[in-house]
Amino acid sequence: MAERFLSVAQVAERLGTTERFPRRLVAERRITFVKVGRHVRIPESALVGFIAANTVEPARRRVRRLRAA
C-alpha cells in the first residue's frame, strides 16, 4: 500500500492544534516531511511515529507499606 501524505492543515486537525504547530515542527526539523514544490507534506507514518515518541505513559502509584513497630 502506498504511503499517505498529509498537508499541514490535515496534521494540525489530527493533532488538535493550529497550523502553526506543525509548521514549527517542520521548521525545527522535528518531524519528517517532503517538499513538493512550495507545498509541505508529512507522511502519515511520520505523524504516527511523532505521536508515539512523545506519548507519556501514566506513572504507577506506589503502595506504601507500613513498618511493624
pLDDT exceeds 90 at position 62: no
Q: What's the total number of domains in the chain?
A: 1
Write the DSSP string, the chain: -PPPEEEHHHHHHHHTS-THHHHHHHHTT-S--EEETTEEEEEHHHHHHHHHHT--PPPPPPPPPPPP-
Tell me whether residue 63 is in a domain: no
Q: Which domain holds residue 49?
A: 5-53
Tell me whether residue 45 is in a domain: yes
Tell me whether residue 27 is in a domain: yes
How high does pLDDT run on average in the chain? 93
CA nearest to 7, candidates 24, 29, 22: 22
Q: pLDDT tens digits for 26-55?
A: 999 999 999 999 999 999 999 999 999 999
Tell me whether residue 62 is in a domain: no
Tell me whether residue 44 is in a domain: yes
pTM for this model (two decimals): 0.79
Which CATH number characterizes residue 22's domain?
1.10.10
Tell me whether residue 31 is in a domain: yes
Tell me whether residue 66 is in a domain: no
Angle (nearest 5°) at CA 45 between 47 and 14: 35
pLDDT exceeds 70 at position 69: no
pLDDT exceeds 80 at position 68: no
